[in-house]
Amino acid sequence: MKKIRFVLLSIAVIIALMQLIRPKQPSNTPSSDLPGIPHEVNAILRSSCFDCHSSQTNLRWYDQLTPVNYLVNDHITRGRKALDFSNWGQLPPAVQNTKLFYSLNKILWGQMPLPSYLLAHPQAALSEKEIHTLKDFVRSRKAAIGIDTIKTDKIKQQFADFVQQKMRQSDQTVQPAPNGIRYISDYRNWTIISITDRFDNGTLRMIYGNNIAIKAIQERQTNPWPDGTILAKAAWKQIANADGSLSTGDFVQVEFMIKDAKQYAATSGWGWARWRGNDLKTYGGTALFTAECIACHQPVKANDLVFTRPLDLKKLTVRNH
């Protein structure tokens, strides 16, 4: 019994001494409600997000105990770096929409609030009703799209030229990406595996897959995707037609993800590349631009870093090209 008491006393003394070593506390200043955000949405953000994503931090007593405080401070530092709602009013509307779009998706994927944070802060968990409220709000922020029939006709011709490959440039004339990946013009002949509407920035996107990708989809072997898979995502601005439907507008960019677990081991098994505009200007000043790509795709790390949920191509015949 004396031995047990000695051990417990020793542990208590060690914990007490540890409290003398404390990290620098994060700044804590009141944060106002976000401008232009409904009251019910502000309330959700305050209860589930503000502690790590604003200048106003509500630390509980157990958050301030060493060594827990080191972990909490790290959460707050990284959280504010990714998104600080205290600076919300200084962000352009387009940036606000993009951050809302990604934040909502992280919530839907169960990645925010952090599971480790929820263990000690269960009150931050969002209810289905709160998630539904956030969904409705984010959808309401959809970029306004004007109707311009003259521009629409011009854009329709541009898209027709794209489909017929009149805009096609030689793979050899387009500058390679900074990491050495070359442009692949033949992606236009590949099978479309999904179409997405990025309502936060007003773009329509078509995702193409090469034969290896199509075979993987048919066999439902996409997590992980097999080596040799190439996914191409082409994006256009949205144009509203007079009947309320949407058409592709100006061509924005095309991005590639090339799977080779060994060759691209340093970049999470994927080769990344992007070309912007009709002149296909390569994106990124150095090969380090891939860090931006990987960071963006981290929310779907459990899905081999691929956002796209392919259409059911089980019965589709693979093209020979």
What is the pLDDT at residue 193?
92
Domain that holds residue 190: 149-303
Residues 159 and 259 both lie in one domain: yes
In-domain check, residue 174: yes
In-domain check, residue 14: no
Q: What CATH number corresponds to the domain at position 181?
A: 3.50.70
Would you place residue 319 in the very low, low, confident or very high pLDDT band (cuts 50, 70, 90)?
very low
In-domain check, residue 310: no
User: What pTM did the predictor assign?
Assistant: 0.61
Token code pair at residue 55: 């200048």
What does the DSSP assignment read for 264-321?
Answer: TGGGTTEEEEEEETTTTEEP-SSGGGHHHHHHHHGGGGGGTT--------TTPPPP--
Residues 204 and 224 both lie in one domain: yes
In-domain check, residue 313: no
Name the strand (E) or helix (H) holding 115: helix 115-120
In the predicted structure, residue 306 carries a pLDDT above the cut 80: yes
Residues 65 and 197 both lie in one domain: no
- pLDDT per residue as tens digits for the range 228-258: 999 999 998 887 666 656 677 788 999 999 9
Would you place residue 47 in the very low, low, confident or very high pLDDT band (cuts 50, 70, 90)?
confident
Look at residues 109, 140, 171 and tell me which one is the last residue of a structural domain.
140
Question: Which residue, 218, 251, 229, 227, is CA-closest to 184?
Answer: 229
Residues 117 and 230 both lie in one domain: no
Domain total in the chain: 2
Residues 189 and 214 both lie in one domain: yes
In the predicted structure, residue 320 carries a pLDDT above the cut 50: no
Higher model confidence: residue 227 or residue 241?
227
